[in-house]
Amino acid sequence: METPDLVSRTDLETLLTAVGGNVTDARAGVFGPASVVWKISRESALFLAAGRAALLQLAHPWVAAAIAQHSTVLHAPIARFHNTFRIVFTVIFGTSEQALAAARYLHTLHTRIRGELTEAVGPWGRGTSYEANEIAALRWVHATLIESAVLAYEAVLPLNAAEREQYYQQSKLQAAFFGIPAAALPGDWAAFSEYNRQMASELAVSPAARSMGQDILRGAGSWIHPPRWYRALTAEWMPPRLREEFGLVFTAADQRAAAQAGTWLPRAYRALPPAVRYVGPYREALARLSGSGPGLMTQASNRFWIGQRLIPFRG
């Protein structure tokens, strides 16, 4: 069980100053079009593992309790999806100024999120205190996004070991915007994978987390109702013990559905037109770099991914 280690505003500003000092083009932001982070994060395929990432986050009792006690999107998974990707895509595809503003906004928001567990969950006792700006919890949320992004990408497109390692190293810059210092992260992809395996063996699903997880996979509170193959892939990609604790159905028929999806998804995905395949924030960033504004299709895609027409936090 983690020992609390909080990120202060001073800590955050120190990290942001270090990252900002390496930015060569403010319009291209922290990473830019040549980065592996852009290459992976531009793909709509990331949605394939969005449910998995959300469930893994909920498997951390501090995260689940924070959402249950402080969030207005308890049973609105799409709203939580928008809230997450609004920050993530601003950091990745926004200008450096937008990324900095998003980081400061998130830290300020997190300072108001603290409390105690109302029940014992795994090794976390009832009354255990939590704070959203705690490094161990932030690290886990970040890890779920990075690992799930790679899993989704590799389900439809090739990614070699060197690119995977480069993506992980670049993701440490992304982590800095959440207040996570590089020293608090595993050193390389192999160590990162071991960290994820270890965490999966320690986490525990609370009744509230299980309920929220079930809502996510049935599309509660939204017009999106994940098809069987999507639910089957999500179940297949979950660590077996956590899959059981979330009560995910994974019958022989579901296993066949996941296997079939693994066959047809790559072909279908690669045939998608760029307007569908690439996420709106990426296309907005390209338009910005070319000196033009985002078109209507880009704005529509933004509404799907971040819940609004344009990348936020404009000066």
128 φ, ψ (degrees, to nearest 5): -60, 130
Taking alpha carbons only, the member of 111, 115, 141, 113 closest to residue 128 is 115
What's residue 79's pLDDT? 82
**Residue 53 domain-assigned (yes or no):** yes
What's residue 71's pLDDT? 75
What's residue 271's pLDDT? 97
DSSP state of 314: -
**Residue 311 domain-assigned (yes or no):** no
3-state secondary structure of 6: strand
**Residue 234 domain-assigned (yes or no):** no
What's residue 4's pLDDT? 62
What's residue 193's pLDDT? 98
Q: Cβ-count burial of 24 within 10 angstroms (0-12 exposed, 13-18 middle, 19+ buried)?
A: exposed
- How far apart CA 49 and CA 39 sit, in angstroms, is 17
List the beta bridge partners of residue 43: 278
Q: Which domain holds residue 133?
A: 9-227+279-306
**Residue 131 domain-assigned (yes or no):** yes
Cα end-to-end span (Å), the chain: 41
**Residue 254 domain-assigned (yes or no):** no
**Residue 243 domain-assigned (yes or no):** no
DSSP per position, 75-131: T-HHHHHHHHHHHHHHHHHS-HHHHHHHHHHHHHHHHT-EEE-SS-BTTBPTT-EEE
What's residue 225's pLDDT? 83
| H-assigned helices in 186-279 | 189-202, 207-218, 228-237, 240-245, 252-270, 274-277
What's residue 72's pLDDT? 66
Low-confidence ranges of the chain (pLDDT < 70): 1-4, 72-75, 220-222, 315
What's residue 64's pLDDT? 92
What's residue 77's pLDDT? 74
Q: Cβ-count burial of 72 within 10 angstroms (0-12 exposed, 13-18 middle, 19+ buried)?
A: exposed
**Residue 61 domain-assigned (yes or no):** yes
- How far apart CA 278 and CA 133 sit, in angstroms, is 31
What's residue 95's pLDDT? 97
| 164 half-sphere exposure, CB direction, 13 A CA radius | 19
What's residue 73's pLDDT? 61
**Residue 257 domain-assigned (yes or no):** no
What's residue 41's pLDDT? 98
Distances (CA, A) of 161 to 47, 61, 186, 188: 22, 33, 17, 11
Burial state string for 96-107 with b = 16 or more CB within 10 A and e = fewer than 16: bbbbbbbbbebb
pTM, to two decimals: 0.95
3-state secondary structure of 278: strand
Total domains in the fold of the chain = 1
